[in-house]
Amino acid sequence: MHRPEPPPGGRVLIATALVAVATLVPAGGPATADPGTDGRQRAYARAATEYGVPESVLLGVSYLESRWNTNAGTPSTAAGYGPMHLTDARHVRNQPRSGHYGPAEDPRGDSARPALDAHRPVADPAPDAPALQTMDAAARLTGADPAALRTDPTSNIRGGAALLTAYQKALGGPVGAGSDPAAWFGAVARYSGAETTDAAAAFANEVYATIKAGAERTTDDGHRLRLPARAVEPARSWLGRVGLRAPKPRPDGLECPTTISCEWIPAPYEQYGPTVGDYGNHDLSDRPGRQKIEYIVIHDTEGSYATTLDLVQDPTYVSWHYTLRSVDGHIAQHVKTKDVAWHAGNWYVNAKSIGLEHEGFAAQGTWYTEAMYRNSAKLVRYLATSLGIPLDRQHIIGHDNVPGITPAAVAGMHWDPGPYWDWSHYFDLLRAPFWGTGWTKGGAVTIDPDFATHRPAFVGCDAPGDPCPSRGSSSVVLRTEPRTDAPLLNDLGLRPDGTPNTMHVSDHGSRVSAGQTYAVAERRGDWTAIWYLGQQGWFHNPATKPTAKWSIGLVAAPKAGRTSIPVYGRAYPEEAAYPEGVPYQTITPLQYTLPAGQRYVVGGLPGSEYYRATTVDGSSPGDWTVIRGETRYVQIQFGHRIMFVNMADVTLLPSPLGAP
């Protein structure tokens, strides 16, 4: 898990600055082979014939599990391997972990209350659920060694085909490569590993939607595969033979789309200590009526789904709104969106956000399943549409994009979901792909490397200093000069001694991420420089293989005559706005400054707000109210994290005026 209403016309101003003729670059990279002759495509065809499963079903299941990727033989966050996601939880050594938060971060991020110690040393052994150990059956059915099933794509595809056919035979369904794909709905549903009929059906429905629409892409190891579109109406009656338990009835007010599986597992709101301040694990509110929700924060759990559910039901711990299971994308809601969960480490962001926890481990070199990506995107689109949250990277943010509230808090802020979360694919699923203007003089760039082929050499995924697996990444590394051997930038909040940041997987102090937009500072050949944390950071951006899209946007620059201006981690009101009896929350600048001559892309124009909530019953003066001031702020993409500057300190202008 590793954190305001703009003035009238504010969003119109931003939108106007962003309007341009744009061209979408297709995802998946260039084709390296014709699908009809590709050896990987033939591997699917041979496995389908060998085990008697329709090739469209085999390809459709594999696409929903992994998008046909191999992920270099590394496990998914659900211990799944290869393009067919054969699970082997016993092989994945789950070491004792620190749980969601370590001692360095207060997940509430509210300086009005004592810091919340949410440190939980958690032993998180591999669960023994059958869905997490399908490797054994695949090995038995194919005679292949588990090591080959984990690392050899052809063996893995055979294992997945054998499992599907075994499930189909157990249901008494027709078998054969030429059998009707519609009659395989039950086997596909069982392959999901879901525990309930609604979750299994949601997975199977997505597989058949993929078969109907067709798909074509280049895999992460360079194979061009194709699933031709085929009009198949699945026979959903087969689901009844699978023997899964029925879901609990959906309670009134469950905030999930009806097309995905979702249940209510409430986080407790109760007093556990002798004072009214000893309560957990969230705060009541009445959003969006009381306060507009501006952000959706993407986290990973750093633990198994089962362990995560145990934690969120502990009143002395912390909370988030939703948890998503990796193996099938099933969702549990814990806190109503009207209420404030303690998840992001920044009370300003907590009070204005919804937190989603995705089962996974940011540092382990693991990958997130397609089933979880898709259900997460459906949930986020549903929430964003109903609450009026823009589908962009200024409002759909990672935990790693949330700023610290004070200088002392910056170093302890978390960095999940990490560099292996595929933001570009996620926004494609949100139906809000990253666009560019195609105009090199626009003055801004939107980061968007090709995820499959962009593979920074991170270290420390498994042990300090050890190279991480070669994996696709959304993250682009910044350097002090336009050359590959130049030092990285320095993030003063992480390294106050001024030394460069590093390539450690968790060290994002000299790193940008897909979808984030920055003002261009300079260009030299294949290198582009952007303004970042008060510095100029260079990244390799050749025209033949760009890592960013040319863009435009509204930018903020210090007003004339100012040598630099302060930067903040929260947009709090001035002291005069606080009613009598409510302590003033100091507007504390962070350790960064925005120097004259630099520009940063604007993500919003929030007013100043502070939601007061310090007691379980609202008895403290000013509790359960939003304090608003006259001060207005500008949200900017300042470094890897969003930050805020006082509107009185800056001039806003279209980025083309500052184009190099």
> Which fold would CATH assign to domain 39-90+127-241?
Lysozyme (1.10.530)
What pLDDT score was predicted for residue 29? 36
- The gap from C-alpha 648 to its chain's centroid, in whole angstroms, comes to 33
SS3 535: strand
For residues 423 and 393, the answer to whether their CB atoms sit within 8 Å is yes
First to last CA, the chain: 39
The pair of structure tokens assigned to 460 is 């420390």
What pLDDT score was predicted for residue 229? 97
Tens of pLDDT, residues 513-559 = 999 999 999 999 999 999 999 999 999 999 999 999 999 999 999 99
User: From the CA atom positions of the chain, what is the Rg in Å?
Assistant: 25
What pLDDT score was predicted for residue 505? 94
For residues 490 and 509, the answer to whether their CB atoms sit within 8 Å is yes
Give the angle 499-505-507 at the CA atoms, nearest 5°: 30
Q: Report the distance separating Cα 375 and Cα 203, nearest Å.
A: 9
Task: State how far the alpha carbon of 644 is from the alpha carbons of 128, 171, 418, 557, 569, in Å.
Answer: 46, 58, 23, 12, 6
What pLDDT score was predicted for residue 114? 84
What pLDDT score was predicted for residue 102? 59
536-545 per-residue burial string, b: 16 or more CB within 10 A, e: under 16: ebbbbbeeee
Q: Report the distance separating Cα 634 and Cα 643, nearest Å.
A: 8
Residue numbers in the chain where pLDDT is lower than 70: 1-34, 36, 93-104, 119-128, 365, 657-660
Helix, strand, coil percent content, the chain, rounded in steps of 5: 25, 20, 55
The pair of structure tokens assigned to 498 is 């001024």
Residue 539 pairs with which residues in a beta bridge? 528
Phi, psi at 279, each rounded to 5°:
-145, 165
What pLDDT score was predicted for residue 122? 62
DSSP 8-state code for residue 136: H
112-147 per-residue burial string, b: 16 or more CB within 10 A, e: under 16: beeebebebebebebbebebbbbbebbbebbebebe
Cβ neighbors of 385 (< 8 A, separation 6 or more) are none
What pLDDT score was predicted for residue 25? 31
**Dihedral of CA 418/192/122/345: which sign?**
positive
**Dihedral of CA 103/108/112/113: which sign?**
negative
Phi, psi at 421, each rounded to 5°:
-80, 125
Q: Report the distance separating Cα 188 and Cα 428, nearest Å.
A: 25
Taking the domains of the chain in order of start, what are their residue ranges? 39-90+127-241, 556-658
Alpha helices (H) in 172-282, listed in sequence order: 185-191, 197-213
Task: Using alpha carbons, select from 164, 169, 163 the residue that is nearest to residue 138.
Answer: 163
What pLDDT score was predicted for residue 93? 60
